[in-house]
Structure 1
Amino acid sequence: MNLLSVEHLNVNFHFKKRELAALIDVSFTLKRGERIAIVGESGAGKSILGFSIVNLISKPGYIHSGAIKLENKDITSMNLRQLQEIRGKRIAMIFQDPMMTLNPVITIGDQLVETIRSHTKINYKDARNIAIEKLRNVQIASPERRFDQYPHELSGGMRQRVIIASVLLLNPDIIIADEPTTALDVTIQAEILQLLLAICRDNGVALVLISHDLGVVSKVAERTLVMYAGQIVEEGPTLEIINDPQHPYTQGLLNALPQMALPGQRLNQIKGSMPSLAERPNGCAFHPRCPYATDKCRSEQPEFIYSGVSSVACFMVEDMLDEFNQHDEGLV
């Protein structure tokens, strides 16, 4: 049984008497202990998908249709009390900016203890010991001293470690990490990613890593979902997607990595920009930016097809596979 199943999920925003689609027919599964990544530019729908998994979409957004099943329980039909049992204990979330999560006027320790005691009947002393142990687990030096400090007294990397410690307090089955290294320098980014990877491996925790950077994803995720304009356009093993990207958008993301340009050369970029919810084009949403777009791409929505071990929604790939199969048949 899959730990998490997202089935034909559609999320809409009601804006000025219009229904704008933010997520369109999104489906994927997550096994216990598996590490997947959701990749795409800003506006692709990555964070909305992450918030949807824990049913935290704020108005005017709402889950229009589809199911999000934690084992055999549909999160979309749960009431607030049931959701509070899920959030933190079964599914925990790491946000981009730790200062948005941590209360600046409460000590680190009191915030961790409050999290434990809000879900359990543990006394303060035992909760304090658990919190200090979790701080030690995320490689925070002198955790007893850090316990009594306020968020502003810690560095950005240290605050992100505190957030990771906080999501581990209740031993969740799934961690959703939304751009967890965005505000950190490269060295600290690598440390945080290695820490997340080690924690998931050691504790059998499943990870959903949300990122715009395929370079970051390659170090952590076993499987990658590439999103564009609210839809998944390619899915497959991470190394396969990085070494042999099928969708033109995935190819563009990889070509835009800094290491793909020669020293002194301008960085590669995908022409144009992500369409807004109100300006989503007909057909394949990527066609205005795609160098291979045809009239069919502009009028019809491609279906998912298998290409090797990956699946991709692209007419160009479909045509190439058809030609390849016809060539093989001709040789028989």
Structure 2
Amino acid sequence: MDLLDVRNLNVNFQLKREDLAALIDINFSLKHGERIAFVGESGAGKSILGFSIVNLISRPGYIKSGSIKLNGNELSHLSNRQMRHIRGKRIAMIFQDPMMTLNPVLTVGEQMVEAIRSHTDLRKKEAKNLAIAKLAQVQIASPENRFNQYPHELSGGMRQRVIIAIALLLKPDIIIADEPTTALDVTIQAEILELLKHICDDNNVALILISHDLGVVSRVAERTIVMYAGRIVEQGPTLEIINDPQHPYTQGLLNALPQMSLPGHRLNQIEGAMPSLNDRPKGCAFHTRCPYVMDKCKQKQPDSLYNGVSHVACFMVEDMMKEISDESYDFDEGDGPDNGAYLLSISQQKGDV
């Protein structure tokens, strides 16, 4: 059984005149100890998805339909009181800005002890010892001293380590990390990502990393899910997504990385901008920015199809799969190449995916 199973999830925002869809037919699963990442530009729906899993969507947002199961138990219909036993204890969350997450008028230790005692029967001294042990686990020097300090007395990287330590306090099954390195410099980013990776591996904790940076994702995630305008457009093994992106949007994200541009030249970019919720185009939402747009892209949404390596929602890939399927009839059964490998080789030869 999968640890987390999300099926046909739809999240809307209810306004006076209309309902706006923020997430549309989201499907994915997460195994014990697995590390996956959600990638996309701002407005793709990544953070909304993270909040939906722990039912932190507040009005006017709401889960319209779909299923979110943790170890087979449905979460989407639980009340806030019931979800308090899930948040922090079974599913922990690391937010973007640690300074906004930590209470500035309480010491680090007070906040950690409060989190422990709200979910367990540990005494104050036992909770303190556990908190100090977790601070040491995230490689904070002199954890006994940091325990008594206020958030403003710590550096940005140190505060992020404290947030990770708080997430680990109750041995959660899943950690959702929402842009955990956005406010940090490059060196500290690398340290935090390696720390998250090792902690998840050592404790068999599953990780959901939310990021806009495929470079960050490539260091941590085993599987990557690319989102655009509230939908999943591509998902598969991270190495395959990085080395052979199939969807034009994924290709654009990779080409926009600084290392993909020549020194002294302008950085590559995807023309246009992410559509707003009330201005999502008909058909494939990416067609207004896609260099390979076809007429049918403007009329209907492509299905997500498995191409032998990853799942992709793109008519261009769908047409290529049909072409390969037609060509495969030329082979006798057992004599032809593996469909997935054949698709990859043809794709690379054509150079159009």
Q: What is the TM-score normalised by the length of structure 2? A: 0.93
Superposed CA offset, 1:237-257 (max 9, x none): 000010000000000000000
Aligned-pair CA distance for 1:309: 1.4
Tell me the equivalent position of 2:193: 193
Tell me the equivalent position of 1:207: 207
1:158 aligns with 2:158: yes
Tell me the equivalent position of 2:228: 228
Q: Distance in 2 between matches of 1:53 and 1:331?
A: 46
| Alignment-mate amino acid for residue 325 of structure 1 | S
Aligned-pair CA distance for 1:329: 2.0
Tell me the equivalent position of 1:8: 8
1:243-322 matches, cutoff 5 A: 243-322=243-322
Q: Distance in 1 between matches of 2:284 and 2:79?
A: 36
| Alignment-mate amino acid for residue 275 of structure 1 | P
Query: SS where residue 62 of structure 2 aligns?
Result: strand
Tell me the equivalent position of 1:146: 146
The farther-off stretch of 144-153 and 76-85 is 76-85
Q: Distance in 1 between matches of 2:125 and 2:306?
A: 55
| Alignment-mate amino acid for residue 73 of structure 1 | N
Q: Distance in 2 between matches of 1:136 and 1:331?
A: 60
Aligned-pair CA distance for 1:328: 2.7
Q: Distance in 2 between matches of 1:197 and 1:68?
A: 25
Superposed CA offset, 1:202-245 (max 9, x none): 00000000000011000100001000000000010000010000
| Alignment-mate amino acid for residue 141 of structure 2 | A
| Alignment-mate amino acid for residue 33 of structure 2 | G
| Alignment-mate amino acid for residue 127 of structure 1 | A
Over 3 Å off, 4+ runs: none
Q: Distance in 1 between matches of 2:70 and 2:295?
A: 41
Aligned-pair CA distance for 1:330: 3.8
Aligned-pair CA distance for 1:265: 1.1
| Alignment-mate amino acid for residue 305 of structure 2 | I
Q: Distance in 2 between matches of 1:262 and 1:69?
A: 46
Aligned-pair CA distance for 1:331: 5.5
1:83-122 matches, cutoff 5 A: 83-122=83-122
The farther-off stretch of 92-101 and 73-82 is 73-82
RMSD: 0.8
Tell me the equivalent position of 1:26: 26
Q: Distance in 2 between matches of 1:108 and 1:44?
A: 33
Aligned-pair CA distance for 1:324: 1.9
Tell me the equivalent position of 2:133: 133
- Report sequence identity in percent: 73
| Alignment-mate amino acid for residue 272 of structure 1 | G
Tell me the equivalent position of 1:238: 238
Aligned-pair CA distance for 1:131: 0.4
Q: Distance in 2 between matches of 1:15 and 1:270?
A: 30
Q: Distance in 1 between matches of 2:324 and 2:130?
A: 59
| Alignment-mate amino acid for residue 206 of structure 2 | A
Q: Distance in 2 between matches of 1:210 and 1:63?
A: 20
Aligned-pair CA distance for 1:16: 2.8
Aligned-pair CA distance for 1:81: 2.2
1:172 aligns with 2:172: yes
Query: SS where residue 115 of structure 2 aligns?
Result: helix
Aligned-pair CA distance for 1:121: 1.1
